Structure 1
Amino acid sequence: MPEPSFSSLVEQARRVADGETTSRALVDHALARIAALDVELNAFAHVRDQAREEAEALDAELAAGRPRGALHGVPVAIKEENDVAGLVTGFGGRGNSTPASADGEVVRRLRAAGAVVVGTTRMPEFGIWPFTESDAHGITRNPWDLSRSPAGSSGGTGAAVAAGIVAMGIGGDGGGSIRLPASWCGVFGLKPQRGRVSSAPARDLWRALGTRGPLTRTVADSALVYDVISGAADADRYRAAPLPESLLAASAREPGRLRVLLSLANPMRDAEPDADTAAAVRATGELLASLGHEVTEADPRYPDLRIAFQVQLGGGVRDEAAAVEHRDRLEPRTRTVLRIARALAPLGGWAERSSARAGDEFLARVFGAYDVLLMPTTPTAAQPAGRLLAASGLEAAELARPVASFTSIWNVFGNPAASVPAGFDAAGLPLAVQLVGPADSEPLLVSLSAQLEAARPWADRRPALAAD
């Protein structure tokens, strides 16, 4: 199998199914990549040597004519906020010490489809920060430039996928934590509709804000994973309406002529995009126009959701911190967030209700006139690593706020949004744009992202660190 490091998830699954390679060969390769690269990247929290035995069992099942599903035999990584049986669900810190007794729902569905979990990936404690750094586990680094951050909170997953260790890793997005690492690591990341993917065994992920989902190098790979993991479980607080088609099918069709609103305005009234990012957004607008779409540049009137987002974020962190085994082990920065969250707790109901009202009005107004919003994912390319660990809680908040200022509003509203690679800056760091759609518009965003991918391919570029 040529270049297994950078083959797609779809290709790996096909090659296993056709007998061109084996699950054991793919898993061996992924584990070897971890051993070779993770000393510098620090992308993995746990590595599962038993993945080899699981791969051999899957190869035997396939030989006996019992394929499990669409991901049979492929190695994947899981962000460590998800339960993986036998591993401690660390949430980026030292607060837990007892291994999970069972897989979380997303992991269960991946395994049911035949995926092999090779390990869990790093995150900042409770996913609070858009930098993957923690007092407990140090700094996770960006494979495009080891002096830079892969963003967060799914930074370990983003680094692992960008470095060609796995073709897919699961992340989570409560304020941009799938899209931010996708942007800084040069991969694709779609935040789905609220309720599209189960949070079980938890009732929700950061209350109304969070969702789980994949980071991948190709659009079709993310589409395939969503086809496998979508759907609510009994425990879930939120449930999205069923989609009319599979997302893998959507990735293979043309999106049709769309009305695209291009905007560089910051929804959270924060940092303007730098020159490289603004140029990437406008270049993407020009590309979309050349593909037949109607592109209009204007700035929508965003409601002010800064307080509502902070209240909901604090409530989500407070819930997760209350459930850990050793609260005395929490980081000082986390303790600062919890003190603020306790003070804001009485506003929790107001934050969710007012956000829902604002979202209904805003989404109806914007997506009544346009099909898609094109905007930055992050205001800059990857920023230097290591600044978070030198910061107090309040200093960390100041560093974090602008990074997620283009993404967090869509967590408050709950509608889908995708980070799509959009070239590189002069220093060789990835750039990205964000595509935002109305409620339940994942098929539209997947189809349009795939059209951009075909017109402006990105998966052929690889970090020098990760070259075979």
Structure 2
Amino acid sequence: MTYQRSPVKAPRVSGMALKAFVNALESGVGSVVLEKLVRDSGIERWRELSAGDAPPLQFPLPPGAPGAEPQAPMEQAARAIAAAPPPGERATVAAYVRAYREGGVDPVTVMRRLHESIDHLDSGRDRLGLFVSRKPDEVLRAAEASAERLRAGRPLSVLDGVPVVLKDEVDLAGFPTTLGTKFRDQLAAVDSTVAARLKAAGAIILGKANMNEIGINPIGLNPHHGAARNPWNRGRITGGSSSGSGAAVAAGLCPLSIGADGGGSIRIPAALCGIVGLKATWGRIPETGVPPLCWNVAHVGPMGLTVDDVAAMYALVSGPDGHDIVAETQPAHHLSGYENADLTGVRLGICWPYFEDADADVVARCRDAVRALTEAGATVVEIPAPDLNTVLWTHSCIILSEMAEAMLTHVKTRASDFGLDSRTNLAIGRHFRATDLVHALRHRHRLTRELLSLMKDVDVLVTPTTATTAPVIPEAALPDGESNLQVVDALMRFVRVANLTGFPALSVPAGYDRAGLPVGVQLTGRPFEEHLLLRLGRVVERATEHRRPPIHVSALR
């Protein structure tokens, strides 16, 4: 198949024009407007495309090869941090471990510094808009308990005393899980699995991070909690929907955070904020305590300053919890071969026309990443072009239909409480037919089978994470934001396939554009082969220049 990408025809709309457009979508003429919108965007070609004999269900992903080096989660996390190079001035998990061990600082001192920094960064005219909710007193009590364990030489894990942030899409006992809305205010009674596992590892949760409302847009602007701003340039977006989770790590407030990814929502902000983001295999990390928004494509997962940091968090939060049935059927997670920088025999699948369908600086930096991998022994295998129109509509139909169903009660009773971009996307989700959803699920099955077949001949797919670096925030359109499908397409072009198929994907910093904004490269692997992605990510990371963003704090100073 020749590589093709249909141009985005929808106009950029904001302000009163956007409000009028949304009102039209929700009125009696909405179906006519929506049908023209989706038809102009190419849906009819997708509706007519046969899915072959694929049944309308996602079959279980085949198990990966068993780990050659089985280790308990705590041991895997320790292994990842032990492999880390000297952190220098970077406040990595390894830097926290060293600082606490050498006694130069303790968790209580660090948390007090961080509270001061957050108060400064998240208030006033120049606020970054990182947090939705915090409880500083609880954080200090957790820090005191951690400091006592460290003094006694009994840390719970390498994350004991290390600050982390949770996207406001996962439950944290005593906090509301707002999903970025203004109406979800009921306090969570118990921790999500990821929150409970981080607490059991001694990590200190600073609070709940800002996000795009209901995770329905990859931009990162929120009409209720404010725009999340990029520490590399506060006039630029963070990407979303895990906007605050990405920016908090980049700004030095924590070396690790939890994001969620239904359509690139971990990897996009990771790329735009210059950090690492892992969307693990579907169900690899339990979704227990994560409100269902888009259950067929959703993933919760780690974001971090370095690959080693992300590997440590991945090790600690992955695996069955006795509640998430998807996680129960999977092979044990592991970090086999993690430290091995010799990539001899590793095959990189690249479709060059697809790879190069991005801004020139993005392509150049991602080519540098490919060069680092090949210099370490990997080889490049050219692969066929993806059918982007099929991928676009299959993913859009599934995620927007599921989000529309998840929010249907709220839309019926309080539609005006949603932001304009959410109302637009929810209207599209309600417009899809039942036959469209079945068609999309069949194509999902077909695309998964085809990708499994393709990856018998390659080990990892390589693309940019996003086609552009962080776009400018449309200040004049705030707080409502705008409809800008050209930007959405540039951010999501390379990320959808991993959500549709459930395959793991890792975004790693690959350098900077001419404006000094970060570029991310994406590595996509076979199911349950996160260890290989992390291994390759370490090679790219060690070959790449790293800078500190202009807006940054140093809690370990």
| 1:404-423 matches, cutoff 5 A | 404-423=492-511
In structure 2, what is the Cα distance between the partners aligned to 1:56 and 1:4? 27
In structure 1, what is the Cα distance between the partners aligned to 2:347 and 2:88? 39
Paired residue for 2:204, among 116, 128, 147? 116
In structure 2, what is the Cα distance between the partners aligned to 1:398 and 1:288? 31
Change (3 A) 1:341 1:100: same
| 1:53-452 matches, cutoff 5 A | 53-64=141-152, 66-202=154-290, 206-239=294-327, 242=330, 246-247=334-335, 250-254=337-341, 256-257=343-344, 258-266=346-354, 272-302=357-387, 304-322=390-408, 327-328=414-415, 329-344=417-432, 346=434, 347-365=436-454, 367-386=455-474, 389=477, 395-452=483-540
In structure 2, what is the Cα distance between the partners aligned to 1:240 and 1:361? 25
Moved more, 314-323 or 125-134: 314-323
Secondary structure at 1:157's aligned position in 2?
Answer: helix
Q: 1:357 deviation in Å? A: 2.3
How many pairs were matched up? 460
Q: 1:405 deviation in Å? A: 1.4
Q: 1:157 deviation in Å? A: 1.0
Q: Deviations over 1:254-274 (max 9, x none)?
A: 35321112334449xxx9301
Q: Deviations over 1:327-366 (max 9, x none)?
A: 442223322322221222513344223202221122312x
Change (3 A) 1:348 1:175: same
| 1:24-43 matches, cutoff 5 A | 24-39=108-123, 40-43=127-130
Q: 1:244 deviation in Å? A: 5.8
Q: Deviations over 1:230-266 (max 9, x none)?
A: 023344252376556633x654233532111233444
| 8 A contact 2:372–2:539 mirrored in 1 | no
Residue 21 of structure 1 corresponds to 105
Q: TM-score, structure 1 length as denominator?
A: 0.90
Residue 45 of structure 2 corresponds to none
| 8 A contact 1:240–1:440 mirrored in 2 | no
In structure 1, what is the Cα distance between the partners aligned to 2:282 and 2:89? 32
| 8 A contact 1:203–1:235 mirrored in 2 | no
In structure 2, what is the Cα distance between the partners aligned to 1:323 and 1:229? 32
Q: 1:381 deviation in Å? A: 0.7
Letter of the 2:463 counterpart: M
| 8 A contact 1:8–1:167 mirrored in 2 | yes
In structure 2, what is the Cα distance between the partners aligned to 1:203 and 1:238? 16
In structure 2, what is the Cα distance between the partners aligned to 1:251 and 1:33? 35
In structure 1, what is the Cα distance between the partners aligned to 2:410 and 2:531? 37
Q: 1:387 deviation in Å? A: 6.5
Q: Deviations over 1:35-70 (max 9, x none)?
A: 232233111111221201111122224445553333
Q: Deviations over 1:144-184 (max 9, x none)?
A: 11111011111111111111111111111111111101111
In structure 2, what is the Cα distance between the partners aligned to 1:250 and 1:364? 24
In structure 1, what is the Cα distance between the partners aligned to 2:216 and 2:431? 17
In structure 2, what is the Cα distance between the partners aligned to 1:342 and 1:134? 22
In structure 2, what is the Cα distance between the partners aligned to 1:375 and 1:68? 38
Letter of the 1:70 counterpart: V
In structure 1, what is the Cα distance between the partners aligned to 2:328 and 2:484? 34
The answer on 1:48 being equivalent to 2:135 is: yes
In structure 2, what is the Cα distance between the partners aligned to 1:78 and 1:455? 30
Letter of the 2:147 counterpart: D
Change (3 A) 1:419 1:237: same
Secondary structure at 1:466's aligned position in 2?
Answer: coil
Change (3 A) 1:5 1:111: farther
How many percent identity over aligned positions?
32
In structure 1, what is the Cα distance between the partners aligned to 2:146 and 2:433? 48
In structure 1, what is the Cα distance between the partners aligned to 2:163 and 2:512? 28
In structure 2, what is the Cα distance between the partners aligned to 1:107 and 1:124? 20
Q: Deviations over 1:79-129 (max 9, x none)?
A: 011111121111112021222222111111110111111111111101111
Q: 1:288 deviation in Å? A: 2.0
In structure 1, what is the Cα distance between the partners aligned to 2:532 and 2:165? 27
Unaligned runs of at least 5 residues, structure 2:
1-85
| 8 A contact 1:376–1:432 mirrored in 2 | yes
In structure 1, what is the Cα distance between the partners aligned to 2:486 and 2:543? 37
Moved more, 48-57 or 324-333: 324-333
In structure 2, what is the Cα distance between the partners aligned to 1:132 and 1:283? 28
Change (3 A) 1:360 1:54: same
Change (3 A) 1:204 1:260: same
Change (3 A) 1:244 1:91: closer
Secondary structure at 1:78's aligned position in 2?
Answer: strand
In structure 2, what is the Cα distance between the partners aligned to 1:255 and 1:173? 30
Q: TM-score, structure 2 length as denominator?
A: 0.76
| 8 A contact 1:334–1:393 mirrored in 2 | no
Change (3 A) 1:166 1:457: same
| 8 A contact 2:245–2:258 mirrored in 1 | yes
Moved more, 218-227 or 396-405: 396-405
In structure 1, what is the Cα distance between the partners aligned to 2:327 and 2:442? 17
Change (3 A) 1:19 1:455: same
